[in-house]
Chains A and B, each alone.
Chain A
Amino acid sequence: MSSAPIIEARELHTYYDASHILHGVDFSVRAGEAVGLMGRNGMGKTTLIRTLVGHVPPRRGELKINGQVMTHAAPHLIARQGIAYVPEGRGVFPNLTVKENLLMAACPRPDQQCEWNFERVLEIFPRLAERLAHGGQQLSGGEQQMLAIGRALMTNPILLILDEATEGLAPLVAREIWQIIKSVRDSGIAAIIVDKNFAALSALTDRNVILVKGRVVFEGSGEELKAKPELLHQHLGI
């Protein structure tokens, strides 16, 4: 993997008011690469993601996206760089219909021809096609997750960020979501994936990062990680 970096973050220090959450995190994702972000609850995974997408700018450190410094850029400018975000809790707009949730996100990057459009998203999410006129709040958890992923794809991203996409889903539905993530990966889109399911996650990722209290304590492939069961046990409870 020597392709160009999409995200290059150096020495990120992020705070919520006075609480210091990220303590000098270095983090990068290259084009087409899938990175697993791991760690127990409250270790700063979501905060790192929110820093990368511009929701909580770091107080110190630097964030480069596609080679440009965007440390304090507004979230919509980061999104327009091709970074799509599926947040914890999915962030489906309850007051918009399924169709509107998808259409409002359509391809904000005018420089790009839109490979992912409404029809193509419905092809991979046939369940959404049946629910187009439903309000966002009328969907089941799994359907909401599909909508959130479909909506992210509508922006034609080069990087898809998934925060706990399978959380709270029945095993069968979760498997369906993993299938979808895999097919998205196969289309060449890079990914940052946060998930509790280590086996499913490490099967998809090229590289994994473990966060402990806002610090990176491990970085390496799934194989390397499996070779260190004490790390898995200590930091992931496996």
Chain B
Amino acid sequence: MFYLIQLLNAVQYGLLLFLLASGLTLIFGIMGVINLAHGSFYMVGAYLAYWLAKLTGSLWLAIPIGIVIAFAIGLLLETAIFSRLYKRDHLYQVLLTFGLILIFEELRSILFGDEVHGVAIPALLDYSIPLTDTLSYPVYRLFVTAVCLGVAGLLYFVIHKTRIGMMIRAGTSNREMAASLGVNIPLLFALVFAVGMALAAFAGTIAAPISSVFPGMGNQILIICFVVVVIGGIGSINGAMIASLAIGCADTIGKVIAAEYSAIAVYLVMALILLWRPQGIANKA
């Protein structure tokens, strides 16, 4: 039973990582932009959950409103700032998006202060399923797992089964050719970027009751997300899924075996996978 709980935790954490990493890998893969501020949107989502839940009294309202706000901010940032970066060197992208991290952190500090805040689990899901006499599993975590699976399924469907998905994949492999077949690349980029931001913020909102809401939470998870993107293969959603679950498991197993060294497990898995597939799981050769 103990192992079942650990497995469920690993999957839940992995799927949450996937929500973040899928946007990051798409933005990196299709537009070639290294977005260090991706983690900031996770934080933005979490703080929106905290703020909106307090304001409306319900996380159920906070989640959709948070997604819409994050999508809008994403769209604004893309058109105002990121669209100017696509032709620039990666150095500019790193500098600018690092600057954005500082701005988001500063805004967070001004608006919400530097304390750790908790977000209540909605009453509907605030109970645990008893597994043995002493062990039980919180339903909210199962809910997070299910929602993440749903979003992953939706993402898979859009990317593999719809025309817009074909266009995104076409744009990832050859932007000019896609444009010459009538695809409005700037619009497609703006949408993909905003959806990526909305996914990151969504991950932040639903994770808020589990992880609580604290300064620097975006940066902590950003690094793990980059690990996922790199081992999954840049630009590959399917790779990101496998990598997210692998990292989720590595992290959880690491914590069980030796809590203070759990970070090592993650990088060990990364090293092993990259030795096997230097271009990431999704890219053979």
- Residues of A bordering B, CB below 8 Å: 53-55, 74-76, 78-80, 84-85, 87, 91, 93-96, 100-101, 103-106, 108-109, 151-152, 155
Contacts and interface: CB of A to CB of B under 8 A. Distances in A.
Contacts of A80: 182
A104 B185 CA distance: 13
Contact of A108 (B166, B170, B181): B181
Contact of B166 (A75, A78, A87, A104): A104
Interface residues of B, number: 19
B268 interface: no
B158 to A, nearest CB: 14
Interface of B: 163, 166-167, 169-170, 172-174, 176-186
B114 to A, nearest CB: 45
Contact of A95 (B173, B177, B181): B173
A94 B163 contact: no
Chain A interface mostly: loop
A118 to B, nearest CB: 12
A78 B177 CA distance: 12
Given A74-B186, A96-B169, A55 B181 contact: no
B179 A75 contact: yes
A104 B176 contact: no
B282 to A, nearest CB: 10
Contact of A96 (B170, B176, B182, B186): B170
Contacts of B185: 74-76
Given A96-B169, A104-B163, A53 B180 contact: yes
B177 A155 contact: no
B163 A55 contact: no
Contact of A103 (B166, B173, B177): B166
B186 A104 contact: no
Nearest to A85: B180
Nearest to A90: B177
Given A76-B183, A85-B177, 8 more contacts: A54-B179, A76-B179, A76-B184, A79-B180, A93-B173, A103-B163, A104-B167, A106-B163
A75 to B, nearest CB: 4
Contacts of A106: 163
